[in-house]
Copies of this chain bind each other. A is one copy, B any other.
Amino acid sequence: MKIKDLEIVKRQQLKEKPSEGVPFGTTFTDHMFIMEYEEGRGWHDARITPYSPLTLDPAAMIFHYGQTIFEGLKAYRTEDDRILLFRPEKNFERLNLSGERLSIPPVDEERVLEYLKTLIELEKDWVPSTPGHSLYIRPFIIATEPNLAVSPSKTYRMMILLSPVGPYFPGGLKPVTIHVEQEFTRAVKGGTGMAKTAGNYSSGYQAQAGAKKAGNADVLWLDGIEKRYIEEVGSMNIFFKINGEVVTPALSGSILKGVTRMSIIEVLKSWGIPVTERRIAIDELYDLYEKGHVEEAFGTGTAAVISPVGELNWGDKKMVFNDHNIGELSQKLYDTITGIQTGRRPDEFNWTVEVK
Protein backbone atom coordinates (compact mmCIF):
# COMPACT_ATOMS: atom_id res chain seq x y z
CA MET A 1 0.00 0.00 0.00
CA LYS A 2 1.26 3.44 -0.91
CA ILE A 3 0.42 6.20 1.54
CA LYS A 4 -0.44 9.40 -0.27
CA ASP A 5 -2.49 11.27 2.28
CA LEU A 6 0.05 11.59 5.09
CA GLU A 7 1.43 15.02 5.84
CA ILE A 8 4.83 15.09 7.53
CA VAL A 9 6.09 18.08 9.51
CA LYS A 10 9.59 17.46 10.82
CA ARG A 11 11.11 18.85 13.97
CA GLN A 12 13.86 21.40 13.33
CA GLN A 13 16.09 20.52 16.24
CA LEU A 14 16.17 16.83 17.11
CA LYS A 15 16.22 15.71 20.75
CA GLU A 16 19.27 14.10 22.28
CA LYS A 17 18.85 10.31 22.45
CA PRO A 18 18.64 9.13 26.06
CA SER A 19 21.33 7.07 27.70
CA GLU A 20 20.36 3.50 28.52
CA GLY A 21 18.45 2.69 31.68
CA VAL A 22 15.71 5.32 31.47
CA PRO A 23 12.51 4.07 33.10
CA PHE A 24 9.85 2.49 30.86
CA GLY A 25 7.49 4.87 29.10
CA THR A 26 9.03 8.19 30.10
CA THR A 27 11.11 9.13 27.04
CA PHE A 28 9.52 9.82 23.68
CA THR A 29 10.95 10.26 20.21
CA ASP A 30 11.03 13.43 18.10
CA HIS A 31 7.78 12.84 16.24
CA MET A 32 4.34 11.37 16.67
CA PHE A 33 1.42 10.36 14.48
CA ILE A 34 -1.99 12.07 14.65
CA MET A 35 -5.26 11.47 12.82
CA GLU A 36 -8.71 12.98 13.37
CA TYR A 37 -12.22 11.56 13.14
CA GLU A 38 -15.43 13.45 12.65
CA GLU A 39 -18.89 11.95 12.31
CA GLY A 40 -19.97 12.04 8.67
CA ARG A 41 -16.41 12.63 7.48
CA GLY A 42 -14.56 9.64 8.87
CA TRP A 43 -10.87 9.48 9.73
CA HIS A 44 -8.88 12.25 8.11
CA ASP A 45 -5.99 14.67 8.43
CA ALA A 46 -3.38 11.95 9.06
CA ARG A 47 -0.06 13.61 9.86
CA ILE A 48 3.30 13.14 11.48
CA THR A 49 4.29 16.11 13.61
CA PRO A 50 6.93 16.94 16.20
CA TYR A 51 6.12 15.32 19.57
CA SER A 52 4.21 18.08 21.30
CA PRO A 53 1.51 18.71 23.90
CA LEU A 54 -2.11 17.99 23.14
CA THR A 55 -4.62 20.81 23.47
CA LEU A 56 -8.17 19.79 24.33
CA ASP A 57 -11.29 21.45 25.65
CA PRO A 58 -11.62 20.58 29.36
CA ALA A 59 -15.10 19.25 28.52
CA ALA A 60 -13.61 16.76 26.00
CA MET A 61 -15.36 13.45 26.59
CA ILE A 62 -12.15 11.51 27.26
CA PHE A 63 -11.84 13.37 30.59
CA HIS A 64 -15.37 12.55 31.74
CA TYR A 65 -16.60 9.24 30.35
CA GLY A 66 -13.44 7.34 29.48
CA GLN A 67 -14.19 6.60 25.85
CA THR A 68 -10.73 5.55 24.76
CA ILE A 69 -8.76 2.51 23.55
CA PHE A 70 -5.08 1.78 23.09
CA GLU A 71 -2.52 -0.74 21.90
CA GLY A 72 1.06 -1.64 22.77
CA LEU A 73 3.67 -3.22 20.50
CA LYS A 74 7.37 -2.93 19.81
CA ALA A 75 9.90 -2.39 17.04
CA TYR A 76 13.18 -4.33 17.30
CA ARG A 77 16.57 -3.75 15.68
CA THR A 78 18.20 -6.86 14.28
CA GLU A 79 21.94 -7.58 14.43
CA ASP A 80 22.13 -6.84 10.70
CA ASP A 81 20.46 -3.47 11.32
CA ARG A 82 16.97 -4.15 10.01
CA ILE A 83 13.93 -2.96 11.95
CA LEU A 84 11.21 -5.51 12.66
CA LEU A 85 7.66 -5.29 13.98
CA PHE A 86 6.09 -8.38 15.56
CA ARG A 87 2.61 -9.24 14.23
CA PRO A 88 1.52 -5.58 14.16
CA GLU A 89 -1.62 -6.44 12.18
CA LYS A 90 -2.86 -8.31 15.28
CA ASN A 91 -2.61 -5.13 17.33
CA PHE A 92 -4.63 -3.06 14.89
CA GLU A 93 -7.15 -5.87 14.60
CA ARG A 94 -7.52 -5.82 18.39
CA LEU A 95 -7.67 -2.00 18.38
CA ASN A 96 -10.81 -2.27 16.27
CA LEU A 97 -12.21 -5.04 18.49
CA SER A 98 -11.69 -2.78 21.51
CA GLY A 99 -13.22 0.07 19.56
CA GLU A 100 -16.38 -1.90 18.90
CA ARG A 101 -16.84 -2.44 22.65
CA LEU A 102 -16.23 1.25 23.39
CA SER A 103 -18.37 2.53 20.49
CA ILE A 104 -15.32 4.05 18.78
CA PRO A 105 -15.35 4.03 14.94
CA PRO A 106 -12.93 1.55 13.33
CA VAL A 107 -9.70 2.55 11.63
CA ASP A 108 -8.44 1.13 8.34
CA GLU A 109 -6.04 -1.45 9.78
CA GLU A 110 -3.77 -1.72 6.75
CA ARG A 111 -3.55 2.01 6.27
CA VAL A 112 -2.75 2.64 9.92
CA LEU A 113 0.02 0.03 9.76
CA GLU A 114 1.49 1.92 6.81
CA TYR A 115 1.32 5.16 8.78
CA LEU A 116 3.12 3.45 11.65
CA LYS A 117 5.83 2.12 9.36
CA THR A 118 6.35 5.60 7.92
CA LEU A 119 6.65 7.04 11.45
CA ILE A 120 9.15 4.38 12.52
CA GLU A 121 11.18 4.87 9.37
CA LEU A 122 11.42 8.55 10.19
CA GLU A 123 12.44 7.69 13.77
CA LYS A 124 14.65 4.74 12.90
CA ASP A 125 17.63 6.09 14.82
CA TRP A 126 15.53 5.78 17.98
CA VAL A 127 15.24 2.00 17.68
CA PRO A 128 17.86 0.80 20.19
CA SER A 129 20.60 -1.58 19.10
CA THR A 130 21.48 -2.80 22.61
CA PRO A 131 20.25 -6.37 23.15
CA GLY A 132 17.03 -6.51 25.11
CA HIS A 133 16.13 -2.93 24.18
CA SER A 134 13.40 -1.94 21.76
CA LEU A 135 11.12 0.86 20.64
CA TYR A 136 7.78 0.69 22.41
CA ILE A 137 4.83 1.78 20.25
CA ARG A 138 1.66 3.20 21.80
CA PRO A 139 -1.28 3.77 19.43
CA PHE A 140 -4.36 5.21 21.15
CA ILE A 141 -7.68 6.83 20.34
CA ILE A 142 -9.48 9.36 22.54
CA ALA A 143 -12.95 10.92 22.40
CA THR A 144 -12.50 14.66 21.90
CA GLU A 145 -15.99 16.18 21.60
CA PRO A 146 -16.52 18.87 24.25
CA ASN A 147 -19.84 17.65 25.64
CA LEU A 148 -20.94 16.41 29.06
CA ALA A 149 -23.79 14.27 27.68
CA VAL A 150 -23.29 10.57 28.48
CA SER A 151 -23.14 9.32 24.91
CA PRO A 152 -20.54 8.43 22.27
CA SER A 153 -18.39 11.28 21.02
CA LYS A 154 -18.83 12.64 17.50
CA THR A 155 -15.10 13.37 17.18
CA TYR A 156 -11.98 11.35 18.00
CA ARG A 157 -8.23 11.67 17.75
CA MET A 158 -5.86 8.80 17.09
CA MET A 159 -2.22 9.17 18.02
CA ILE A 160 0.88 6.97 17.97
CA LEU A 161 3.73 7.66 20.40
CA LEU A 162 7.14 5.96 20.31
CA SER A 163 9.30 5.37 23.37
CA PRO A 164 12.70 3.62 23.54
CA VAL A 165 12.66 1.05 26.33
CA GLY A 166 15.11 -1.23 28.08
CA PRO A 167 14.59 -4.85 29.07
CA TYR A 168 11.70 -5.63 31.41
CA PHE A 169 14.06 -7.60 33.64
CA PRO A 170 17.41 -5.78 33.37
CA GLY A 171 19.22 -8.66 35.11
CA GLY A 172 17.65 -11.33 32.90
CA LEU A 173 14.45 -13.33 33.40
CA LYS A 174 13.52 -13.43 37.08
CA PRO A 175 10.58 -15.27 38.64
CA VAL A 176 8.20 -12.99 40.56
CA THR A 177 5.91 -13.47 43.54
CA ILE A 178 2.24 -12.87 42.83
CA HIS A 179 -0.76 -12.26 45.10
CA VAL A 180 -4.02 -14.01 44.15
CA GLU A 181 -6.55 -11.17 44.45
CA GLN A 182 -9.74 -12.13 46.29
CA GLU A 183 -11.31 -8.74 47.05
CA PHE A 184 -11.02 -6.61 43.94
CA THR A 185 -12.17 -7.55 40.45
CA ARG A 186 -10.52 -6.59 37.17
CA ALA A 187 -13.33 -7.49 34.80
CA VAL A 188 -16.49 -9.50 34.40
CA LYS A 189 -18.41 -11.13 31.57
CA GLY A 190 -20.40 -8.43 29.75
CA GLY A 191 -17.92 -5.75 30.86
CA THR A 192 -14.87 -4.34 29.07
CA GLY A 193 -12.22 -6.89 30.13
CA MET A 194 -11.56 -8.08 26.58
CA ALA A 195 -11.00 -4.52 25.36
CA LYS A 196 -7.78 -2.56 25.79
CA THR A 197 -9.39 0.49 27.35
CA ALA A 198 -8.03 2.88 29.95
CA GLY A 199 -10.53 2.15 32.73
CA ASN A 200 -9.42 -1.49 32.94
CA TYR A 201 -5.98 -0.45 34.13
CA SER A 202 -6.42 2.18 36.86
CA SER A 203 -9.17 0.00 38.37
CA GLY A 204 -6.39 -2.43 39.32
CA TYR A 205 -4.17 0.05 41.19
CA GLN A 206 -5.78 -0.46 44.59
CA ALA A 207 -5.33 -4.24 44.45
CA GLN A 208 -1.80 -3.87 43.11
CA ALA A 209 -0.85 -1.48 45.92
CA GLY A 210 -2.15 -3.96 48.50
CA ALA A 211 -0.25 -6.82 46.86
CA LYS A 212 2.99 -4.84 46.73
CA LYS A 213 2.67 -3.82 50.38
CA ALA A 214 2.59 -7.52 51.23
CA GLY A 215 5.76 -8.15 49.23
CA ASN A 216 4.24 -9.30 45.94
CA ALA A 217 5.20 -7.97 42.53
CA ASP A 218 1.64 -7.98 41.17
CA VAL A 219 -1.78 -9.64 41.37
CA LEU A 220 -3.39 -12.65 39.75
CA TRP A 221 -6.98 -11.76 38.86
CA LEU A 222 -9.80 -14.23 39.36
CA ASP A 223 -13.11 -14.09 37.48
CA GLY A 224 -15.59 -11.53 38.80
CA ILE A 225 -18.48 -13.94 39.17
CA GLU A 226 -17.27 -16.88 41.24
CA LYS A 227 -13.89 -15.43 42.26
CA ARG A 228 -12.53 -18.80 41.40
CA TYR A 229 -11.36 -19.00 37.80
CA ILE A 230 -7.93 -17.64 36.88
CA GLU A 231 -7.99 -14.75 34.39
CA GLU A 232 -4.83 -12.64 34.06
CA VAL A 233 -1.71 -11.72 35.97
CA GLY A 234 -1.20 -7.95 36.31
CA SER A 235 -1.66 -6.83 32.73
CA MET A 236 -0.42 -10.10 31.25
CA ASN A 237 -1.98 -13.40 30.22
CA ILE A 238 -1.02 -16.42 32.33
CA PHE A 239 0.14 -19.96 31.49
CA PHE A 240 0.82 -23.05 33.60
CA LYS A 241 2.76 -26.17 32.67
CA ILE A 242 0.93 -29.04 34.34
CA ASN A 243 2.15 -32.59 33.92
CA GLY A 244 3.80 -31.74 30.62
CA GLU A 245 0.70 -30.00 29.27
CA VAL A 246 0.47 -26.22 28.94
CA VAL A 247 -2.77 -24.67 30.14
CA THR A 248 -3.98 -21.08 29.82
CA PRO A 249 -7.39 -19.56 30.65
CA ALA A 250 -9.76 -19.61 27.67
CA LEU A 251 -10.84 -16.22 26.29
CA SER A 252 -13.99 -15.85 28.34
CA GLY A 253 -14.98 -12.34 27.34
CA SER A 254 -13.20 -10.76 30.30
CA ILE A 255 -9.63 -11.68 29.32
CA LEU A 256 -7.48 -9.70 26.90
CA LYS A 257 -6.62 -11.53 23.68
CA GLY A 258 -2.86 -11.14 23.98
CA VAL A 259 -0.68 -11.20 20.87
CA THR A 260 2.12 -12.85 22.85
CA ARG A 261 -0.45 -15.31 24.25
CA MET A 262 -1.57 -16.41 20.78
CA SER A 263 2.04 -16.63 19.60
CA ILE A 264 3.05 -18.82 22.56
CA ILE A 265 0.14 -21.15 21.79
CA GLU A 266 1.19 -21.43 18.15
CA VAL A 267 4.84 -22.05 19.04
CA LEU A 268 3.90 -24.76 21.53
CA LYS A 269 1.67 -26.46 18.97
CA SER A 270 4.50 -26.37 16.42
CA TRP A 271 6.70 -28.13 18.97
CA GLY A 272 4.08 -30.81 19.55
CA ILE A 273 3.61 -29.75 23.19
CA PRO A 274 -0.03 -30.14 24.22
CA VAL A 275 -1.61 -26.76 24.96
CA THR A 276 -5.15 -26.25 26.20
CA GLU A 277 -7.25 -23.11 26.55
CA ARG A 278 -9.78 -23.81 29.28
CA ARG A 279 -11.20 -22.64 32.59
CA ILE A 280 -8.75 -23.18 35.46
CA ALA A 281 -10.03 -22.77 39.00
CA ILE A 282 -7.54 -21.53 41.58
CA ASP A 283 -8.55 -24.42 43.88
CA GLU A 284 -7.93 -26.88 41.04
CA LEU A 285 -4.49 -25.35 40.49
CA TYR A 286 -3.74 -25.62 44.20
CA ASP A 287 -4.84 -29.22 44.22
CA LEU A 288 -2.62 -30.02 41.25
CA TYR A 289 0.20 -28.09 42.90
CA GLU A 290 -0.12 -30.07 46.14
CA LYS A 291 0.13 -33.27 44.12
CA GLY A 292 3.33 -31.97 42.54
CA HIS A 293 1.92 -31.61 39.04
CA VAL A 294 2.47 -27.89 38.39
CA GLU A 295 5.88 -27.57 36.78
CA GLU A 296 6.02 -23.97 35.59
CA ALA A 297 3.98 -20.76 35.61
CA PHE A 298 4.51 -17.61 33.55
CA GLY A 299 2.82 -14.44 32.42
CA THR A 300 2.98 -13.29 28.79
CA GLY A 301 2.75 -9.81 27.33
CA THR A 302 4.40 -7.34 24.99
CA ALA A 303 6.47 -5.65 27.70
CA ALA A 304 8.10 -8.72 29.30
CA VAL A 305 7.34 -11.34 26.61
CA ILE A 306 7.61 -14.02 29.35
CA SER A 307 7.50 -13.23 33.06
CA PRO A 308 8.09 -16.39 35.11
CA VAL A 309 5.97 -16.72 38.24
CA GLY A 310 8.00 -18.18 41.12
CA GLU A 311 5.35 -17.99 43.80
CA LEU A 312 1.58 -17.56 44.10
CA ASN A 313 0.06 -16.42 47.39
CA TRP A 314 -3.59 -17.42 47.65
CA GLY A 315 -4.93 -16.37 51.05
CA ASP A 316 -2.76 -18.25 53.53
CA LYS A 317 -1.81 -20.85 50.93
CA LYS A 318 1.43 -20.59 49.01
CA MET A 319 2.48 -22.25 45.77
CA VAL A 320 6.14 -22.25 44.79
CA PHE A 321 6.87 -23.21 41.21
CA ASN A 322 10.11 -24.83 40.07
CA ASP A 323 11.81 -23.80 43.33
CA HIS A 324 11.71 -20.12 42.34
CA ASN A 325 13.79 -20.85 39.25
CA ILE A 326 12.97 -20.14 35.64
CA GLY A 327 11.40 -23.16 34.06
CA GLU A 328 13.07 -24.80 31.10
CA LEU A 329 10.03 -24.30 28.89
CA SER A 330 9.58 -20.67 30.00
CA GLN A 331 13.17 -19.93 29.05
CA LYS A 332 12.88 -21.75 25.72
CA LEU A 333 9.69 -19.86 24.84
CA TYR A 334 11.30 -16.57 25.79
CA ASP A 335 14.37 -17.31 23.68
CA THR A 336 12.22 -18.39 20.74
CA ILE A 337 9.83 -15.46 20.72
CA THR A 338 12.50 -12.82 21.36
CA GLY A 339 14.71 -14.60 18.82
CA ILE A 340 12.04 -14.22 16.15
CA GLN A 341 11.27 -10.64 17.21
CA THR A 342 14.90 -9.57 16.90
CA GLY A 343 15.75 -11.61 13.81
CA ARG A 344 18.22 -13.87 15.66
CA ARG A 345 16.09 -16.87 14.75
CA PRO A 346 14.40 -17.76 11.47
CA ASP A 347 10.84 -16.44 11.33
CA GLU A 348 9.22 -19.72 10.36
CA PHE A 349 5.76 -18.40 11.25
CA ASN A 350 6.11 -15.32 9.06
CA TRP A 351 5.30 -13.07 12.02
CA THR A 352 7.71 -10.22 11.57
CA VAL A 353 7.13 -7.20 9.36
CA GLU A 354 10.18 -5.27 8.26
CA VAL A 355 10.14 -1.48 8.27
CA LYS A 356 11.91 -0.29 5.14
Contacts and interface: CB of A to CB of B under 8 A. Distances in A.
Interface of A: 23-26, 28, 32, 51, 53-68, 70, 100-103, 136, 138, 140, 142-143, 146-152, 159, 161, 163, 183-192, 197-206, 208-209, 224-225, 227, 234-235
A122 to B, nearest CB: 17
Nearest to A190: B185
Contact of A206 (B56, B101, B140): B101
29 contacts: A23-B149, A24-B148, A25-B148, A26-B148, A53-B58, A54-B58, A64-B138, A65-B201, A66-B199, A66-B201, A68-B202, A100-B206, A102-B202, A103-B202, A103-B209, A143-B202, A148-B161, A148-B163, A150-B204, A150-B234, A151-B205, A152-B209, A188-B224, A189-B224, A191-B224, A192-B199, A197-B203, A224-B224, A224-B225
Contacts of A32: 58
A189 B185 contact: yes
Dominant SS among interface residues on chain A: loop
A159 to B, nearest CB: 6
Contacts of A186: 191
| 6 interchain residue pairs of minimum CB distance | A199-B199, A25-B148, A66-B198, A185-B190, A65-B201, A67-B202
Given A24-B149, A150-B234, A190-B227, 13 more contacts: A25-B59, A53-B55, A53-B56, A53-B57, A54-B56, A54-B58, A55-B55, A63-B68, A102-B202, A143-B202, A150-B235, A197-B202, A197-B203
Contacts of A151: 205, 208
